[in-house]
Structure 1
Amino acid sequence: MTTLAEAIGQTLADDGVRHAFGVVANGNVLAVAGLTRHGISYLSARHEGGAVGMADAYYRTTDEVAVCTVGAGQGLRNAATGLADAVKHRSGVLLLCGDVPGTGPRRIDVDQDGFLDSLGVPVVRLTDLATARTDILRALRLARTEQRPVALCLPQDLVTVQVTERTPADRLSRRPRRMAADPAGTAAALEALDAARRPLILGGLGAWRSGAALPLTELGDLLGALLTTSAMAAGLFAGNPWSLGVCGGFAAARAAELISRADVVLAFGASLDHWTLADGGLLAPNAVLVQVDTWPAPTTDRVDIHVTGDAAEAAAALLDGVRARPLPRHTWREEVTDRIGHLHWDPEPSQRHPRATGPTRAS
């Protein structure tokens, strides 16, 4: 038989987790030993906030979930800033933390559910030894498929208790399937492109994570569209002569002027927060804004058409649709060739959106 601490390390290692970052405390020391015993590399941090930052950065650079492990109570509270940042950036992080014993709270304990809920972090608690391995994988599935931090809470009085579940009831794929673009949303986007004369493609962090640069570039060439990115996806179209650079408060003045002339904006994997849209002052009031994202609903009321799906999958679907119709290739690129050729970084915010004077942070 295997203890719960050992089962955590074995189950995560078997399902492809390779790295963990953390601060050892009374509530997680045996779990850390279980991780390392099963081949998961562990890097110690000096502060819990730094440990979450490491796991967050690991996900952003590799697109793989890493473990961040901290103790209960004070250890978990120290992770607040890093967790909030990981939530905002939709980073898959599995937070393995100590938890209140089943016998009741101690002096050091806090309302961990309320604390994590306030940060937008869902909780999976390991209280049933008959489903422990399945619950561990359920937490990992949430972090992978929903691209968010998920807390796996380990009650201290169960750490050394033996689990009765030998194998998980639901073995997960290490790589979740990409979400296909919904047909209704794709059709609506194609209808909008039928009437477009100055299309613009905006790539966000979701587009970068899905590897959508190539299909988005092909779509732009087919439509004759200009290209731009959110701040978090800067460089997605690096070297492309039709790229306007970053969209938002730090957009170059000439780029902002061109962005404001777009009549259809296709946003792929971008949250479209007020930094990206410059508090609503960047796009033309009559521009049709199409948001492509894995979230089931638009992230802002400004969105006119919402397409649910992975950025690369949706770009491929739109490519097929454009080729099948076919839509006319627009002449906007030829009209603005001279302006794009003289684009440069402008440290002053564009006068077209004077409210956008703060730092630009978008996804």
Structure 2
Amino acid sequence: MNGADLLVRCLEAEDVEYVFGLPGEELEDVLFALRDSSIRFVPTRHEQGAAFMADVYGRLTGEAGVCLATLGPGATNLLTGVADAHLDKSPLVAITGQGGLERLHQESHQALDVVHTFEAVVKWNTQLNDTEIINESVRKAFKLAEYEKPGATHLEIPEDVAATAVDAEPLPHRNKVRRPDPDAESIERAADLLGDADRPIVLAGNGAVRTHASERLREFVERTGVPVIGTYMGKGAVSDRSDQSLMTLDSGPNDEAAGAIEEADCVVAVGYDIAEHDPKRWNPDRSKTVIHLDHEPAEVYEHYNPEVEVVADISMGLRRLTDAVDDVWTTWCTDAHDVVLTDARRKPDPDEPFSVRRTLPILREAMADDDVLISDVGSHKMAIARHFPVYEPNTCIISNGLASMGIAVPGGVAADLAVDSNVVVATGDGGFLMNAAELETATRLDCGFTVIVFNDDDYGLISEKQREHTGEAFGTRLSNPDFAAFAESFGVSASRPTSWTELADALVAAVESDEMRLVEIALD
């Protein structure tokens, strides 16, 4: 057995099913070790696509997704997807090859200091410069990647280490480290603060979904009547069918949800990361009582300075808080709830031009509650985040930490492998073409998901912001191929509806199909 064999045996011990990546000369021993293992190596068309696949796979399963790239340009191409996982708190282990140790002390072909390059976007990384440290390093990489708050880790294996004989065994996989129960004093203080509030509200963040705390959060809001507003990555923590749901921050035709949190005098932040949504926007004058409930202490921030921090397992913290609170509030923002949900569900009039906003009720109707929607980044993401009702946790995947364009199509590949439900990806023309080559990966793997391309021949979100600031836009216009013909060249069935009726029929047929489908929606 050599170092590469041990590395792959360690991956097997971590129950890794897929490794997404590109081959490279320095990875030869690793690739042949994967060939002889129980793990499926998925060659992708770009390293960024591989990293996004590992990112979304980790977010959907809670187990670290694994991506693989060679040295130099392979590693730097991987970087964006690794950074996305880092800021979105998605468990991911990146593995990169490297030249032999004997040439790394000098300038060398394709050689970069990858370990230091990755330091800013991972929780931990190291070079496997000795076969004797491989088993410990792999176990540490997975433990840290999956430990709350999860994120990315990175291992670099030089080609000579991969080829060196070794006699060692993988370390046994252990259960994830669990946070202790909350301390009674913090729960009592939080309950007292809530009891003094007239207009409390829950702000559900990424952690409320990521830690499987939705069941306890739903019990809390049903028991107390406290309304819930979510971040973009907290969608589905409480079902948008609930009377307590205000969907997400900035939802509603006149930002009723934002108005509700503005009126609130007490905010219970559950699994909230300030990277998701700047607290200055919902607590501008720092007048709100804030209760922080999370696995980690709150970030130090002038506009997010909680009166009490319940640092514990989120589900158990919610359970203890539910038991400690005696008050029941009549939902004080029912009007906002009704306006937000009515607007989100309104279907378009027959003569309305195509828009993302009015497509969403039709798409929601075509999808089951547990089907998964993955949004790319762009103006369509804002509409989906604010106006697409979500009924189950982890069924609407939005990148809002790094918020990188290009995640949707590779994310669809990962989701199709990770879940049994139907998968839909929504992207703009800009984000789609960044990783559209992964359609070939999808068809090679016999995936069956739906790609919706909103086409406005523009980097639309940037245009919108420029016009808001200056009244005009520059540097955003694009030209595009025939997307239907492009998809069909990969063997993907495609359609370009011209009416709302045709669009509704196309979405139902696509979502229910077991085949790859692309639906292009031309925006006016």
**TM-score, normalised relative to structure 1:** 0.85
Deviations 1:134-182 (A, max 9, x none): 22211111111141111011012111111232353xx331x41432344
Alignment partner, residue 341 of structure 1 = 338
> Which of 135, 141, 144 pairs up with 2:143?
141
Give 1:362 deviation, angstroms: 4.4
The AA in structure 1 aligned to 2:135 is R
Alignment partner, residue 132 of structure 2 = 130
Q: Which moved more, 1:56-65 or 1:125-134?
A: 125-134
Q: Distance in 2 between matches of 1:172 and 1:10?
A: 12
Change (3 A) 1:152 1:7: same
Is the 1:248–1:276 contact (alpha carbons within 8 Å) kept by the matching residues of 2?
A: no
Is the 1:127–1:155 contact (alpha carbons within 8 Å) kept by the matching residues of 2?
A: yes
Matched, 1:49 2:51: no
Alignment partner, residue 312 of structure 1 = 315
Give 1:283 deviation, angstroms: 6.4
**TM-score, normalised relative to structure 2:** 0.61
The AA in structure 2 aligned to 1:113 is V
Matched, 1:236 2:237: yes
Give 1:207 deviation, angstroms: 0.9
Q: Distance in 1 between matches of 2:260 and 2:86?
A: 32
Aligned residues between the structures: 343
The AA in structure 1 aligned to 2:111 is D
Q: Distance in 2 between matches of 1:235 and 1:244?
A: 11
The AA in structure 1 aligned to 2:202 is I
SS in 2 for 1:79: helix
Of Structure 1 and Structure 2, the greater helix share is in: 2
Alignment partner, residue 204 of structure 1 = 205
Give 1:339 deviation, angstroms: 4.1
Change (3 A) 1:46 1:15: same
Give 1:292 deviation, angstroms: 2.0
Alignment partner, residue 25 of structure 1 = 24
SS in 2 for 1:342: helix
Q: Which has the higher contact order (CA 8 A, sep 6+)?
A: 1
Change (3 A) 1:92 1:289: same
Is the 1:24–1:32 contact (alpha carbons within 8 Å) kept by the matching residues of 2?
A: yes
Q: Distance in 2 between matches of 1:15 and 1:261?
A: 47
Is the 2:246–2:336 contact (alpha carbons within 8 Å) kept by the matching residues of 1?
A: no
Alignment partner, residue 108 of structure 1 = 110
Q: Distance in 2 between matches of 1:120 and 1:289?
A: 29
Deviations 1:324-362 (A, max 9, x none): xxx22223x1x4334432334488xxxxxxxxx995764
Is the 1:20–1:43 contact (alpha carbons within 8 Å) kept by the matching residues of 2?
A: yes
Q: Distance in 2 between matches of 1:362 and 1:314?
A: 25
Q: Distance in 2 between matches of 1:252 and 1:104?
A: 62
Give 1:237 deviation, angstroms: 2.0
Alignment partner, residue 193 of structure 2 = 192
Q: Distance in 2 between matches of 1:314 and 1:212?
A: 10
Q: Distance in 1 between matches of 2:284 and 2:102?
A: 57
Alignment partner, residue 353 of structure 1 = none
Change (3 A) 1:202 1:297: closer
Q: Distance in 2 between matches of 1:69 and 1:89?
A: 20
Give the alignment of 1:7-86 within 5 angstroms.
7-86=6-85
Deviations 1:272-310 (A, max 9, x none): 347353x43456632112222223442633131332233
Deviations 1:114-145 (A, max 9, x none): 21013345213222323321222111111111
Change (3 A) 1:272 1:67: same
SS in 1 for 2:317: helix
Change (3 A) 1:181 1:228: farther
Alpha carbon RMSD of aligned pairs, Å? 2.6
Is the 2:232–2:249 contact (alpha carbons within 8 Å) kept by the matching residues of 1?
A: yes
Is the 1:22–1:43 contact (alpha carbons within 8 Å) kept by the matching residues of 2?
A: yes
Alignment partner, residue 245 of structure 1 = 247
Q: Distance in 2 between matches of 1:223 and 1:210?
A: 22
Matched, 1:160 2:163: yes
Change (3 A) 1:93 1:36: farther
Change (3 A) 1:362 1:193: farther
The AA in structure 1 aligned to 2:101 is G
SS in 1 for 2:5: helix
Unaligned 5+ segments in structure 1 are 348-356
Alignment partner, residue 257 of structure 1 = 259
SS in 2 for 1:200: strand
Alignment partner, residue 226 of structure 2 = 225
The AA in structure 2 aligned to 1:80 is L
Q: Percent identity?
A: 23
Q: Distance in 2 between matches of 1:310 and 1:36?
A: 39
The AA in structure 2 aligned to 1:219 is F
Q: Distance in 1 between matches of 2:335 and 2:298?
A: 38
Alignment partner, residue 352 of structure 1 = none
Which aligned segments of 4 or more residues in structure 1 are displaced greater than 6 angstroms? Answer: none
Give 1:61 deviation, angstroms: 1.6
